[in-house]
Amino acid sequence: MTQRILIKEVQCKTVLHRLQLNGAWEYTANFYRGCTHGCSYCYVPSLIHDERSWGSFVDVKMNAPQVLNKELFKVDKNVVFLSSATDPYQSVEARYKITRKCLEILLSHGFPVLILTRSQLVLRDLDLLKRFEWIRVGFSISTVPSRVYEPGVASLEKRIECLRKISDQGVPTWVSLAPVIPQLMLVDLEQLMKTLCDAGVRCVVPGLLRMMNYDESRKMFERVVAAPYTGFLKGGVELMRKVDGMIERNGLEPPRNFFKWTHIQEAGLDKFLYTSSNKMIEKEEWVHHTTELGYRGVQETTSLIHQ
């Protein structure tokens, strides 16, 4: 049964938020609050603490384009990430076109843009994307590309085809391979990596499932899998090393090169924490995550997405 989505039109005071980590920084902008994808492992519910069920609501920031335009006149130029706490191309975007309007504004101001989505709707804006001097368009792909875990997300095949079409137009593409769930693998990672390369993807950023200190997200995930999440992380460290090897063997670009914008030495979040159980392993590579970019880079900046 399809879940009913409650859509609410709201006004916002700010759109552009500065993310700073390890001396580097960038911006993030979320034009919607909530997400129709309803992914069972999403970390955002643990950041916004909304009493509404995740995946059942979207607040549309109707004045986001006007607010963004004013803010861009006042800030230093840097990469703008769309988006850290929502999908800029979720289904409601087809009706409201907030992301498209904001892209037009970002283009007029000459700001570089980094996109992460799971939706084929991004193809609608190829005409705009091709006009940016610096842009990176990415898709999130987990190891559980199934409606059981991602009820509102386009199929893996459709996402890969979108990447191919965008790459064919000369727009640099990347993949956030996250979350990787070691004991819940519905894809052949070796074959997936080859398929992504064939589709023109230039960079893959992996991220291990992380639920520590994300209580709402943990409960949501465990309701679906009917077991403690920690059992699904066994072998995580070894698997992530293997994934790194796959990335290297397939000749994909290192994140620090792919995401580098010429006006800055390091773009955004330059360290990513792999997590296995209670052990944290620091990886000396930059990851825009998100958000998720791998999976978790901006969850540490929770105050930025509450507005």
Task: Please report the domains of the chain, with CATH numbers, ordered by start residue.
Answer: 6-302 (3.20.20)
Residue in 80, 72, 40 with CA at minimum distance from that of residue 179: 40
Q: Give the pLDDT confidence score for residue 119 in this predicted structure.
A: 98
What CA–CA distance (Å, rounded) separates 305 from 307?
Answer: 6
Question: In the predicted model, what is the mean pLDDT of residues 192-200?
Answer: 98
What CA–CA distance (Å, rounded) separates 144 from 127?
Answer: 31
Compute how many other C-beta atoms are within 10 angstroms of the C-beta atom of residue 23. Answer: 8
Do residues 19 and 28 touch, judged by C-beta distance below 8 A? yes
User: What letter would DSSP give residue 114?
Assistant: E
Residue in 117, 192, 178 with CA at minimum distance from that of residue 144: 178
Q: Give the pLDDT confidence score for residue 289 in this predicted structure.
A: 36
Using the predicted structure, report yes or no on whether residue 208 has a pLDDT greater than 80. yes
Using the predicted structure, report yes or no on whether residue 257 has a pLDDT greater than 60. yes
Using the predicted structure, report yes or no on whether residue 268 has a pLDDT greater than 70. no
Q: Give the pLDDT confidence score for residue 99 in this predicted structure.
A: 98
Grouping H, G, I as helix, E, B as strand and the rest as coil, residue 288 is: coil
Please, which pLDDT band fits residue 156 given cuts at 50, 70 and 90?
very high
Please, which pLDDT band fits residue 19 given cuts at 50, 70 and 90?
confident
Question: In the predicted model, what is the mean pLDDT of residues 21-31?
Answer: 85
Do residues 222 and 229 touch, judged by C-beta distance below 8 A? yes
Using the predicted structure, report yes or no on whether residue 162 has a pLDDT greater than 90. yes
Do residues 24 and 269 touch, judged by C-beta distance below 8 A? yes
Q: Give the pLDDT confidence score for residue 272 in this predicted structure.
A: 32
Q: Name the average pLDDT for the chain.
A: 87
Q: Give the pLDDT confidence score for residue 294 in this predicted structure.
A: 40
